[in-house]
Structures are given as structure tokens and as C-alpha cells.
């Protein structure tokens, strides 16, 4: 997995994540994506996070 650029730190905290989510939602909506497209996008994001968590678990086990 690639590491984020260390010189650019993302904003921290739930407020920053809410703002990011709202921005993505507005961008998708203004670009003409349907609600079902947005649900598919959110589902894909959850799938990517789940996969990343599983990979971290495998890496943690391998390191022991």
C-alpha cells in the first residue's frame, strides 16, 4: 500500500471528514450522478476500507 505524502497532512477530526463528505456529495450531485450512483460510490468506498483493514490485519499477523 502506498504511503500518503508526508508533507501534506490531511485535516484531522470528525468535522473535517463531514466537510469532505459533504463536498464529495455536492460534487457528485452537481455532476449529475443519481442517488443510486452515490450509493454505489459509498459502497465501493466501504469495500476499499474493508480491504485495507483486512490487509493490515494480515500484515500485523505476519509481523508477529
- Give the C-alpha distances (Å, rounded to integers) separating 31 from 5, 51, 55: 28, 28, 33
Q: Which residue has the higher pLDDT, 20 or 64?
A: 20
Distance CA 18, CA 10 (A): 13
Calculate the average pLDDT of the chain. Answer: 85
Q: Which residue has the higher pLDDT, 20 or 7?
A: 20
What average pLDDT does the segment 46-64 reach? 80
Question: What are the grid coordinates assigned to 40, written together?
Answer: 454505489
Taking alpha carbons only, the member of 8, 49, 3, 45 closest to residue 24 is: 45
- Of 36-40, 44-48, 50-54, least confident by mean pLDDT is 50-54
Q: Is the pLDDT of residue 51 over 50?
A: yes
Amino acid at each position: 500500500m502506498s504511503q500518503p505524502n508526508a508533507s501534506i497532512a490531511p485535516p484531522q477530526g470528525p468535522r473535517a471528514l463531514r466537510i469532505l463528505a459533504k463536498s464529495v456529495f455536492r460534487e457528485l450531485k452537481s455532476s449529475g450522478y443519481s442517488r443510486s450512483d452515490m450509493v454505489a460510490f459509498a459502497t465501493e468506498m466501504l469495500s476499499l476500507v474493508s480491504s485495507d483493514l483486512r490487509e493490515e490485519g494480515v500484515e500485523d499477523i505476519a509481523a508477529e
